[in-house]
Amino acid sequence: MSHGIALKPARSTRSEALNGTIKIPGDKSISHRSFMFGGLASGETRITGLLEGEDVINTGRAMRAMGATIEKVGAEWVIQGTGNGALLAPQAPLDFGNAGTGCRLTMGLVGVYDFDSTFIGDASLTKRPMGRVLNPLREMGVQVTSTEGDRLPVTLRGPKTPNPITYRVPMASAQVKSAVLLAGLNTPGITTVIEPVMTRDHTEKMLQGFGADLSVDTDAEGVRTIRLVGRGQLKGQVIDVPGDPSSTAFPLVAALLVPGSDVTILNVLMNPTRTGLILTLQEMGADIEILNPRLAGGEDVADLRIRASELKGVTVPADRAPSMIDEYPVLAVAAAYATGSTTMLGLEELRVKESDRLSAVAEGLKLNGVDCDEGKETLVVRGRPDGKGYGNAAGAAVVTHLDHRIAMSFLVLGLVSEHAVTVDDASIIATSFPEFMDLMTGLGARIDLVEEAA
C-alpha cells in the first residue's frame, strides 16, 4: 500500500520453547529525535544504535531536505547540522510515510519558520488528527493550510516573529508536548508547556543534552511545567541509542507465553516513562528478571531475562496508560492466555494511533476466538491459558490497517494458539522493527510469510 510495499500476509503457528539472547534495535522515539536534533544543532552529531526503520529514515530524509548533511559511516550515522534557526525551506513536500512522531515533531520544528513547508504521509497517517499540533502552532502565529480539516496534506508558514506561548497539553501526548517545545526553539523568549500527566521525556532530556536552556518543575500533584528559552545554540552530540522497549514487548510476551521459553534481551531502555508494560506483566505473575541495570547516555538501561510464566488477569489503571501506550495490543495478547479477565482502562488515545488500535485489537481477538469486550475507552479480555480454540482454522486474516504493532501482536498470539493466526500484512512491520521476523524465528518462533496462490 502507500507505505511503498505490496501487502505481505504472514502466519504464525504453535511453537516449541523460545531460547536465546537477542539485542533489540534502537528506540524509535530517541532515533527520531537524534536525527532531528543532530540535524538542527551546530557541528557534528554521531549516532550509534539508531533504529533504521522506515519511519526514522523518513525523518532523516526530511532533515536532509532542510539542509542537514546525514551520512552512514560504518556503524555510525554522522550528521552536520544546520545550526538552530537555520533550517532551509524544503523544496518538495516532506513525506513522513506511516510516522506520526516524525510528522508531528517536524511540524513543530519547522512550522514556525517564515517559509512554506508541506507535510504528506501514507493512508494511515493521512487519517490521523493533526489539530492537536496545529492548534498550538496557530497560537504561535503559524498559518495552516489544509483542505482536509486538519489532516494531511498540510502546509505551514510561520510568521516573521513567532509568539512564545504557554500551552497546557490537553491530552497525554509526548508528540504534542514535543511539537510545541520544538517550535519554541526558533521562537524568541520563553515557550512554556504544562503537562498535567507525564509522558515520555526524551525531548526534554535530549534537548538539555544538546545544550538548550530548558528547565522542568514538577508540583505536588505531578503537574510538570517545562520552560524553554528560544533561539539558543544547540551543539552536536555523541548518542548511543538504547534498545526500544516497545519493540522488546513482542519477544518478551512471546517468551512468557510459549511454554519452556528462556530468552534474554540485551540493552533495553528502562526510562520510567516507558516501563508500564513490564510492571503490568510482573503484576500478572511474569518472571522477568532485570539484569545489569545501568545508566547509558543519561538513560536507564538493563538486560531482561524472561522465562515462560503462568499469567493471571489484572486491572491496569488508567494513569499507567502513558507509560505503556504502544504496548496495549501485545498486552491484550498476553491477557488472552491469562487466567481470569484483564481490564485495561483509560485507552482513549489508542483510537488515534497508526490505526484505531482499540477496535483493531478487539476485532483481531474475536476473529481468533478470544473472548473480549471493547468499550469506548476500555478493553476487557477474558483469557484461557491453554489457547484451546484460539486462532482461525479457516485462515481468515487479521486486518492490520497499516499498523505495525497490530501485525506483530497477532503474530505473537499464534505462537501458542490451537490453530494458526494469519495477519493480512507483515511488510508494515519494517516501519518500526525490520528485524522482527529474523529475531523471532531465530529464537524458535514459527512465523512465515504466506505465499500468495499463483
Q: Which residues are identified as catalytic?
A: 326
Please give the DSSP secondary-structure letter assigned to residue 149: S
Window contacting ligand S3P (CB under 6 A); options: 135-143, 168-176, 237-245, 441-449: 168-176
DSSP 384: -
Residue 162 near residue 139 (C-beta atoms within 8 A): no
Instruction: Give the binding range for ligand S3P (CB under 6 A) out of 18-26, 80-88, 170-178, 417-425.
Output: 170-178
Binding span for ligand S3P by CB under 6 A among 174-182, 256-264, 282-290, 372-380: 174-182
Note the maximum CA span of the chain. Answer: 64
Closest CA to 5 of 123, 86, 107, 104: 123
- Interface residue with ligand S3P among 326, 327, 424, 425 (CB under 6 A) is 326
Residue nearer to ligand S3P on the CB measure, 324 or 420: 324
Stretch that binds ligand S3P, among 71-79, 172-180, 236-244, 374-382 (CB under 6 A): 172-180
Q: Please enumerate in sequence order all residues whose Cβ is within 8 A of that of 130, keeping only pairs 6 or more positions apart, or say none.
A: 103, 104, 107, 119, 146, 150, 151, 152, 154
Asked whether 43 and 32 are in contact (CB, 8 A), the reply is no
Q: Which of 173, 309, 392, 427 touches ligand S3P (CB under 6 A)?
A: 173
Output the smallest distance, CB 404 to ligand S3P, in A. Answer: 10
Q: Could you tell me the smallest distance in angstroms from the CB atom of residue 178 to ligand S3P?
A: 6
How far is it, in rounded angstroms, from Cα 134 to Cα 273? 25
- Residue that has been written with the C-alpha cell 481468533 in this structure: 368
- What is the SS3 assignment for 398? strand
The CB-of-323 to ligand S3P minimum distance in angstroms stands at: 11
Quote the least distance from Cβ 348 to ligand S3P, whole Å: 11
Identify the three-state secondary structure at position 156. Answer: strand
Where do runs of H (alpha helix) occur along 79-173? 100-111, 123-127, 131-139
What is the DSSP secondary-structure string of 322-367? Answer: GGGGGGHHHHHHHHHTSBSEEEE---GGGGGSSS-HHHHHHHHHHH
Residue 359's nearest CA partner among 327, 394, 401, 411 is 401
- 54 or 303: CB nearest ligand S3P: 54
* Shorter beta-carbon distance to ligand S3P: residue 154 or 367: 154
CB of 168 to ligand S3P, least distance (A): 15
* Residue closer to ligand S3P, measured from CB, 206 or 362: 206
Query: Would you say 263 or 278 has its CB closer to ligand S3P?
Result: 278
Binding mask 261-300 for ligand S3P (x = CB under 6 A): ----------------------------------------
Neighbours of 17 (CB within 10 A): 14
Which residues, numbered 398-427, are part of the site for ligand S3P (CB under 6 A)?
none
Nearest to 50 by CA among 243, 208, 207, 275: 243
In the complex, least distance from residue 405 CB atom to ligand S3P, rounded to whole angstroms: 9
Chain position whose Cβ is nearest to ligand S3P: 29
CA distance 16 to 297: 37
For ligand S3P, give the closer residue by CB, 303 or 349: 349
Number of residues that bind ligand S3P (CB under 6 A): 10
SS3 of residue 203 by DSSP:
helix
Q: Select from 147-155, 169-177, 260-268, 290-298 the region that touches ligand S3P (CB under 6 A).
A: 169-177
Q: Which of 12, 84, 175, 248 binds ligand S3P (CB under 6 A)?
A: 175
Distance CA 66, CA 385 (A): 52
Nearest Cα neighbor of 113 from 43, 50, 160 is 160
Segment contacting ligand S3P (CB under 6 A): 77-85, 171-179, 186-194, 229-237?
A: 171-179
Decide: helix, strand or coil at residue 277: helix
178 scored as a contact of ligand S3P (CB under 6 A) = yes
**Shortest Cβ distance from residue 206 to ligand S3P (Å)?**
11
- Pick out residues in 187-216 that bind ligand S3P (CB under 6 A): 200
Q: Nearest to residue 133, comparing CAs of 144, 124, 125?
A: 144
What gap in Å lies between CA 219 and CA 217, rounded to an integer?
A: 7
Phi, psi of 374 (to 5 degrees): -95, 120
Pairing assessment for the beta strands 262-269 and 299-307 based on DSSP bridges: antiparallel
Smallest distance, ligand S3P to C-beta of residue 338, A = 24
Kindly state the smallest distance separating residue 124's Cβ from ligand S3P, in Å.
13
Residue 265, all three cell numbers: 534481551
- Scanning residues 334 to 353, which ones bind ligand S3P (CB under 6 A)? 349
Nearer to ligand S3P, 351 or 382 (CB): 351
Q: Which residues bind ligand S3P (CB under 6 A)?
A: 29, 101, 173-175, 178, 200, 325-326, 349
